[in-house]
Structure 1
Amino acid sequence: MTKPRTGASGVLRFRYLGPYEIEELADLWRALHRQHTAIAPHLEDLITSVDVDESWRRRRARYLEWLDDPDTLAVVAERGGTDVGYAMVTIRQDHQGSWDRGERVAVVQTLSVHPDSRGTGIGSGLLDEIRRQVCEMGIRDLELAAVATNADAIRFYEEQGFRPFVTTMVSRIGSGPHD
């Protein structure tokens, strides 16, 4: 299914992928991986980054697992016949207990926009398309994670209506100052 959206740089179209088309996401994932490793040098002593090809191998396997669920969305944004971004969205049962978020929550596992296309409406177009789809599924909450030092992404998500909810802290066990 393709849905058009007009933007400053032409028509933005959305396609939904199945597992057999997952390789189409490889280059966009690799660009996102490079960005993540560049913006998180504060984590180098804590989390060991893998090379870009190993990163894609691992993410590809995870995507294929997620796509076993018929509610998972793999949405590609294309402009002028070129893939310029994508989103991978899973649906999970919500058992938070402290907050009523409905029975199911949509989780943006990946939102990737090609570096040359950032700031051209691709990310907001993908989020609008995702919101439309998950709303039709009766889901009212959409969540995502952002690398803490990615101020541009966090600012963008806040402009899109997201608010901080949970902060994930990471600690290495067994190798560090607290051994």
Structure 2
Amino acid sequence: MATKSHGGVPTLRFRYLGTADVDELADLWAALHERHTATAPHLEDIITRVTADESWRRRREQYLAWLSEPETLAVVAERGGAPVGYAMVTVRENQQGSWDRGTRVAVVQTLAVRPDHGGTGVGSGLLEELRRQVGAMGIHDLELTALATSAEDIRFFEQEGFRPFVTTMVSRIGAFGGHD
């Protein structure tokens, strides 16, 4: 278990989870799901919203699949023994293209911080812990996605050294009518 202090705020402790522990993430995922739906109302016409329970059921299934891979990391940040955030990171083979990013890339699939712990170093601490862990695996790049309408998150990630790389656009098929 690694630790990290942030000013006068109690020390963060990091704990790594396996498949048997995945249900510990349900409440933190629910808070993130709520934030996503509040942050992206513009997507309602192209993406079907699901309930928090259904969202967790789907994400839990995905987490279990990812955690069956040996290099996947699930790390919980705790303060005073209580979970205040977590990250789920997978490792994928890098498809060499226009940029040399190494043979493997770490992908932050989820970075969640309890709403009442925003701005207290939880997100930064998790990213620092992830960089340490994936760097020790010989991986040079860490990538993540952020909702395009979440300026606060994008600003935070840029402060953490991330830069925009690609933009993913979404369109519902049939949104423009059928074919003649």
- TM class by shorter chain equals over 0.9
> Which residue of 1 is the match for residue 44 of structure 2?
44
Task: For residue 55 of structure 1, give the secondary structure of its aligned residue in structure 2.
Answer: helix
Q: CA RMSD in A?
A: 0.7
Which residue type is aligned with residue 5 of structure 1?
Answer: K
Which residue type is aligned with residue 120 of structure 1?
Answer: T
> Which residue of 1 is the match for residue 67 of structure 2?
67
> Which residue of 1 is the match for residue 2 of structure 2?
3
1:58-115 deviation per Cα after TM superposition (whole angstroms, max 9, x unaligned):
0000000000111000000000110000000000000141111000000000000000
Which residue type is aligned with residue 101 of structure 1?
Answer: R
Task: For residue 106 of structure 1, give the secondary structure of its aligned residue in structure 2.
Answer: strand
> Which residue of 1 is the match for residue 160 of structure 2?
160
Q: Report 1:122-141 matches (<5 A).
A: 122-141=122-141
Find the aligned partners of 1:56 and 1:116 in 2 and give their Cα distance.
21
Q: Report 1:75-154 matches (<5 A).
A: 75-154=75-154
> Which residue of 2 is the match for residue 23 of structure 1?
23
Find the aligned partners of 1:96 and 1:75 in 2 and give their Cα distance.
28
Task: For residue 167 of structure 1, give the secondary structure of its aligned residue in structure 2.
Answer: coil
Find the aligned partners of 1:178 and 1:95 in 2 and give their Cα distance.
35
Which residue type is aligned with residue 108 of structure 1?
Answer: V
Find the aligned partners of 2:99 and 2:2 in 1 and give their Cα distance.
34
> Which residue of 2 is the match for residue 177 of structure 1?
176
Which residue type is aligned with residue 176 of structure 2?
Answer: P
Find the aligned partners of 1:33 and 1:82 in 2 and give their Cα distance.
20
Identity over the aligned pairs, expressed in percent? 67
- Relative to the length of structure 2, the TM-score reads 0.97
Which residue type is aligned with residue 156 of structure 1?
Answer: F
| Runs of 4+ that moved beyond 3 A | none
Find the aligned partners of 1:178 and 1:104 in 2 and give their Cα distance.
41
Q: How many residues align?
A: 177
In structure 2, the gaps of 5 or more residues are none
Task: For residue 68 of structure 2, give the secondary structure of its aligned residue in structure 1.
Answer: coil
In structure 1, the gaps of 5 or more residues are none
